[in-house]
Structure 1
Amino acid sequence: MLRKILLLIIVSLGSSVPVFAKNAVKPGISVSATPLKPTETQEVAGVYISQYLLRNHFRKIAVNDSLSQEIFNRYIDNLDGSKNYFVASEVDSLRKIYGTQIDDEFLVGKSTAGFSIYNFFLKRAKEKMRFMKAVVDTAHFNFSKPETLALDNKTAPWPSDKSLLRDVWRKELKYLWLNMKYSGEKKKPIRTTLSKSFTTRLNLLNRQKPEDAFQAYNYALTTSFDPHTSYFSPDEYKNFQIDMSRSIEGIGAKLQTEGEFTVVAEIIPGGPAFKNNLLKKGDKIIGVGQGKTAAVVDVTGWRINDVVKLIRGKKGTTVSLKILPASQSGRGPSKTIHLLRDKINLEEQAAKKSIFLQNGQKIGVITIPSFYLDFEGEQLNTGNYNSTSRDVIKLLNELIAEHVQGIVIDLRENGGGSLEEAVKVTGLFIPNGPVVQISSSTGRTTVLDDEDGGVLYNGPLAVLVNRYSASASEIVAAAIQDYGRGVIIGERTFGKGTVQSIINFSRPVPGIENQPDLGEIKLTIAKFYRVSGGSTQHKGVVPDISMPSIIDTSAIGEDTYPSSLPWSTISPSVYQPTGDVSAAEIDILHQKQQDRSSKDPLYQSYLNDLGRLDQIRKKKSVSLEDSAFKTEIETMKKIEDQWIKETDTDKNAKAVKKDVLLDQSASVVSDLSLLKKGAK
């Protein structure tokens, strides 16, 4: 029997590709002596996965050779997107063998092709680790030689033969050596540390299980329908439930896997990482240590469940994380940070306010880290439960009492949460009417309305967003924009306009008391639409006044996923725009912002840093010459300092002044206030 257990409005801000994989059983492809095979439980789960994808997913896809090739391409790219495991002839052989077989297996829930490809990949991964260890143990590198390593191989061909492949491995080893040299870990011998790391990773590869292959293959399968559909094994779902409850003692961050790396997907408001402000979305965790002095264990290539177990621990204890910062595009050098484990502090998670002077006017800022709601407290009507809308009402009343001339709602980094709360918060600024439309796969449309019939605050308003503003945040920003109620400032939002349902797989077997756990599937079942009729999916919300952030928008966002559902439209809702901000007024505000920012040395310095970072991100290769590598690293370290400053989580007035984008947004609201006063 299948039962639906949860409906979520959530956002995935990155891939979750399970760890290593490799091996195959066909002519032209060598095989491992003990290949991984699916378990009986996995074979049954595979049937459920295929049935639910075909019957219940929002996107209806024809099962044919075209789908088979799409799944194959995605799987190969997930396993070897960096083009440093396979050679071209091997990819061609695998494609001929399995490229048109996957769709037939998918119809009956089989994963034979997936396991064969994974086994071959696993065999090559072991070969690479043995090569890397042998070279690092004996070789002496020439770092004055003008050599480069390709960093972006997405459009590059696979190496034509094994000798070229080994040359890539040799260059990668030089790159790792230089990264360690400039990471600040001078106490540790580089050769010994790298050798130990390769030994550990080889041991991990030797301990691969059927679950690793099953997860890797089904990730490619489910994300061929859309990037937010995925299968959870029983162990993965336990971690997912812990993340949603946010009750575990740890660092307060959601993690996911990208290739061989564990990556920070979300910083949970109120957690240690949120308060410490040293760990960021997109950071790659490559090492974990217990306490400040214990050895840091290399976790590159680890299963995410094992990494999570190392990071979690008792309240009051310290965990050390060795990371590749996102601000440096994961290109090094690494750095080590220390976090004190604790439970999530709901007070820190709550919306907060601050007031500061701008152009002689008081401007209020309300920062909403997420749209949270204590569902149980609401149902029991305890009268004192956690709720975003309740907190924002309190903050708005306080700001009104202090006679602010305008308000900025800061939704940067807000990945969504409770849809109910997003609708209620929007309703505090509009008289009444629809806020969002939800369309199911059958075409049925549900409209969620603001039903309070009143406006708590009707003064000058702006909503500040960035590429990490997603899902429920986009609904609020889109509604404020469609109603003409305020100015949207920042950069285009994530574009996550889909709804997921979590479905549990269970199999009733007569006479067996403890049924096998088959896992769960997170399935996309609907799309969000603005009241004006356009979807927030894929395109996100385009700001009225653009201001770039340090986020790499070429790598973050729904439009970066090849399988994301397309932007589309439905009929608009019947609604009455408030007309608080006209197109002509936005043009004036935009011009004023441009004039002001062009004379602001802090903002210009910020733009200069972004320009240099953008140049680094666009580089297709990195120098393996010591002096050139060092120069680039120093540039990235300077930008890292700016990244920390921009995303400072202290929300008092003094810290707000450090935030150049919030400072500029407050000035826009001040301009709007003066513009309205002049019109009276």
Structure 2
Amino acid sequence: MRQKLIGLVLAVMAATQVAAADTETAYPPLLKPVAQEAKAAHLAAELLSRFHYKAIPLDDALSSRVFDQYLKSLDPEKLYFLQSDIDRLAVDRTRLDDAILTEDLRVPFEIFNLYERRVLERMTYGRSLLHKGFDFERNETLMIDRKDQPWPATEAGSLDLWRKRVKNDWLRLKLAGQDDAAIAKVLDKRYDNAAKRLGKISSADAFQAFMNAYTMAIEPHTNYLGPRAAEEFDISMRLSLVGIGAVLTEIDGYTTIRELVPGGPASLSGQLKVGDRIVGVGQGTKGPMDDVVGWRLDDTVAAIRGAMNSTVRLDILPADNGPDTPNKSVSLVRNTITIKDSAAKAKVYSVATGAGKRLIGVITLPSFYEDVDALRKGDKDYRSAARDVARLLQDLKAQKVEGLLIDLRNNGGGSLREAVDLTGLFVGKGPVVQTRNAKGEISVEKYADAGPAWDGPLGVLINRSSASASEIFAAAIQDYGRGLVIGEPSFGKGTVQTVASLDQIARNATPVFGELKMTIAQFFRVNGGTTQLRGVTPDIGYPPSGDDTQFGESSFDNPLPWTRIKAADYAPVGDVTASLPRLLAWHESRVQRDPDYQNLLERLAKAQELRKNNVISLNEEARRKERAAAEKRLAAMLGAAEAGAGNPLSDDGLQFDERKLSKDLAAQKTREGINDVLLNESVNILSDSVALKEGQSQTAASALPARPVVVTALPAGSSKP
């Protein structure tokens, strides 16, 4: 979450490494704060100083932490600033509080402007290297992760760092089979495009970056959302928006259609297809057509969205046609678009056993969403995670599944109320989670509706990216003894946030100040512990997929500590401890003989080795050997005889906006078709759990390391509410 909320500026910087003009650096105009931003900062400070769970005064001590967080957010890999820059900027270390309280944001904007200048200077230098070429016989290395390194002490040290980064870009393209002329052309265009994107950074982007440095210096999960970011957050919670039903991306300066949403206005029109480029947007049937070539993607998206049943006109350059091809005009009436990819969905897996086949249902829940506006308006069919899961359970029971797995991998949370309601579907009435506010007052969130909707064998699959509401659900299932928790230890976010509209507080009719997502409480398990910092420990664990020191609550500089309160008044509804030894033994026996699982372990071990070494070679011969080994691992993952340049997942050295859209879509399709080793094994574990319940305690019902087979896929809401 923290990376998303730094602002567009970091997404722009992450998309590039170097860029700019050939000789003289053409700096973008200096960014300046506007009055509404200064007022929003002051208003946010008043709220944070009084109502945050960890309320602390905005003084010199906090200013110093904000300063460090700001520099860290702008230059996390220590690639742009020099140590002399940091020393010079340090005179303002204790002045950022004054900048907010006096509504004078010149200091944080001066820091941001210096950052932009340094980025562009490094880009300029990188581009100047392209005509010189590189010696790939030298035994040089490039450090992968520089977070813990100091800023370069000298200009010469910084330039040498960037020389190696450009050399690595060149080598990746060379290993992918491109010749020197083609490589120089690709990189020259890459860096030029990056320079143009740098010039699109706005005052709002700089302000959001600074404000999130302020909020996260207090506590990691408090964030500022500018008006546009606030709108995107609301869309992610209700899973709907008003638009034309097209997924857009930026390719070569053009807003390009990547996907058409089935049933949306764009798809139903029959006039648009994937790859079409939007070069103009007009409002209404007669409004002027704005040329959007070169616009930021979010600006184009904002122009295309609008009010329900209103008309938008698009000037289209058809896919695969040159820039001189005649355009066509398409008129569409905006409608409500449901974001189905982010909604709950289900599949039924068939597991081969010694006694025949067993059906296991899997519900995948990407987030705990809830359409709060529809709920407030009394809409009986309002969209929510728990309601969608309840519908899917009806369908799965009709399919006669014998076990159920809830897949919460990469589910970062959402509505606390939805976590409570979802838990109730499996444990029935009773307490689900406890919350403690800043005053120390403890409340118990309970599920009070009818009994459980599913009382059969249950499992919950989590990973390091399962956070917040996901951890509430998994912890409650574990504490009640209701089912198995499988996977990696979860994120460790045990705090509760609320969203405060700064415009409502200021009584603004037009949104200009944005919103504040602020931590107001800490939640605790019904057993009295908390998931804060430590997360949920699975009953059956899988190997870690990443570096826990770099991701998760424990990776933050200032997380709230783990603590405990009195347990709630609850009674377990089951006990999985007795079955765990048998399930673990069957699991270990199966995965030791499963080539897919063993290949996964090999890939994870290699990734861990790379993280530990933290360097990659810039010697061509050494890298060719590394690439051959990587291709072999890729082939094993894909189940192919070999994986080479023709494989869409092979490293082509290109960035996402440099590939043909068709190739990018092919790679996406290939990724989606990759065998999900951990999901398959979790389904097998659930099948084993069913076997134990049926009294089959001598041999595992799914002892063979065979992949479960999908027999049915169910979208959310496939049954009538």
Do Structure 1 and Structure 2 share a fold, with TM-score over 0.5?
Answer: yes
Pairwise CA distance, 1:54: 0.9
Show the 5 A alignment for 1:219-618: 219-245=212-238, 246-247=240-241, 248-249=243-244, 292=275, 305=298, 343-344=337-338, 346=340, 349-359=343-353, 360=355, 362-369=358-365, 370-375=367-372, 386-400=383-397, 403-506=400-503, 517-548=512-543, 550=545, 553-582=548-577, 584-618=578-612
Structure-2 separation of matches of 1:315 and 1:590: 60
**1:143 corresponding residue in structure 2:** 136
Q: TM-score, normalised by structure 2?
A: 0.72
Change (3 A) 1:611 1:162: same
**2:88 corresponding residue in structure 1:** 93
> Is contact 1:358-1:670 (8 Å) kept?
no
> Is contact 2:468-2:494 (8 Å) kept?
yes
Structure-2 separation of matches of 1:254 and 1:42: 29
Structure-2 separation of matches of 1:568 and 1:186: 59
Pairwise CA distance, 1:447: 1.6
> Is contact 1:270-1:345 (8 Å) kept?
no
Change (3 A) 1:233 1:638: farther
**1:670 corresponding residue in structure 2:** 687
> Is contact 2:33-2:109 (8 Å) kept?
yes
What does the per-residue CA deviation read over 1:532-563, in whole Å, with 9 as the maximum and x for residues that have no partner?
12222332211111013645545432322223
> Is contact 2:431-2:446 (8 Å) kept?
yes
Query: Residue 73 of structure 2 is aligned with which of 68, 73, 78?
Result: 78
Aligned AA (1:660): V
Pairwise CA distance, 1:170: 1.1
Structure-2 separation of matches of 1:504 and 1:382: 23
Change (3 A) 1:556 1:200: same
Aligned AA (2:576): V
Aligned AA (2:362): I
Change (3 A) 1:643 1:410: farther
Matched, 1:193 2:189: no
Change (3 A) 1:126 1:315: closer
Query: Residue 116 of structure 2 is aligned with which of 108, 122, 125?
Result: 122
Change (3 A) 1:435 1:254: farther
Pairwise CA distance, 1:229: 1.9
Pairwise CA distance, 1:165: 1.0
Aligned AA (2:185): T
> Is contact 2:488-2:541 (8 Å) kept?
yes
Aligned AA (1:606): L
Structure-1 separation of matches of 2:63 and 2:432: 40
Pairwise CA distance, 1:174: 0.9
Change (3 A) 1:293 1:45: closer
Aligned AA (1:462): G
Structure-1 separation of matches of 2:151 and 2:110: 20
Change (3 A) 1:595 1:204: closer
What does the per-residue CA deviation read over 1:103-139, in whole Å, with 9 as the maximum and x for residues that have no partner?
4444445433312222222222222222222222x31
Query: Residue 211 of structure 1 is aligned with which of 192, 199, 204?
Result: 204
The alignment partner of 1:366 has SS state of: strand
Identity of aligned residues (%): 36
Aligned AA (1:218): M
Query: Residue 16 of structure 1 is aligned with which of 6, 25, 32?
Result: 6
Structure-1 separation of matches of 2:537 and 2:571: 21
Q: TM-score, normalised by structure 1?
A: 0.76
Change (3 A) 1:599 1:163: same
Q: Which runs of 5+ in 1 are unaligned?
A: 1-10, 23-31, 256-268, 273-289, 321-341, 646-654
Matched, 1:165 2:155: no
Aligned AA (1:536): T
Structure-2 separation of matches of 1:307 and 1:424: 38
The alignment partner of 1:189 has SS state of: helix
Q: Which runs of 5+ in 2 are unaligned?
A: 14-26, 251-258, 263-272, 280-293, 306-311, 321-335, 640-671, 698-721
**1:337 corresponding residue in structure 2:** none
> Is contact 1:315-1:343 (8 Å) kept?
no
The alignment partner of 1:224 has SS state of: helix
Structure-2 separation of matches of 1:444 and 1:107: 31
**1:5 corresponding residue in structure 2:** none
Structure-2 separation of matches of 1:103 and 1:223: 14
The alignment partner of 1:113 has SS state of: helix
Show the 5 A alignment for 1:10-49: 16-19=6-9, 35-49=30-44
Structure-2 separation of matches of 1:73 and 1:385: 43
> Is contact 2:277-2:318 (8 Å) kept?
no
Change (3 A) 1:212 1:420: closer
> Is contact 1:499-1:524 (8 Å) kept?
yes
Aligned AA (1:162): E
Query: Residue 617 of structure 2 is aligned with which of 600, 612, 623?
Result: 623
The alignment partner of 2:426 has SS state of: coil
**1:58 corresponding residue in structure 2:** 53
Aligned AA (2:500): I
Change (3 A) 1:676 1:146: same
Change (3 A) 1:303 1:523: farther
> Is contact 1:538-1:567 (8 Å) kept?
yes
Aligned AA (1:99): R
The alignment partner of 2:622 has SS state of: helix
Aligned AA (2:594): D
The alignment partner of 1:439 has SS state of: strand
Matched, 1:176 2:138: no
Pairwise CA distance, 1:473: 1.9
Query: Residue 677 of structure 2 is aligned with which of 653, 660, 663?
Result: 660
Query: Residue 128 of structure 2 is aligned with which of 113, 131, 134?
Result: 134
Q: Which moved more, 1:489-498 or 1:380-389?
A: 380-389
What does the per-residue CA deviation read over 1:416-473, in whole Å, with 9 as the maximum and x for residues that have no partner?
3343333222222224210112222222223221223523333322111122222222
Change (3 A) 1:543 1:130: same
Structure-2 separation of matches of 1:566 and 1:39: 38
> Is contact 2:277-2:317 (8 Å) kept?
no
> Is contact 2:244-2:304 (8 Å) kept?
no
Structure-1 separation of matches of 2:315 and 2:554: 39
Change (3 A) 1:660 1:311: farther
Number of residue pairs the alignment of both structures matches? 592
> Is contact 1:439-1:445 (8 Å) kept?
yes
Change (3 A) 1:308 1:613: farther
Change (3 A) 1:634 1:440: farther
Pairwise CA distance, 1:161: 0.9
Superposed CA RMSD in Å reads: 4.2
The alignment partner of 2:32 has SS state of: coil
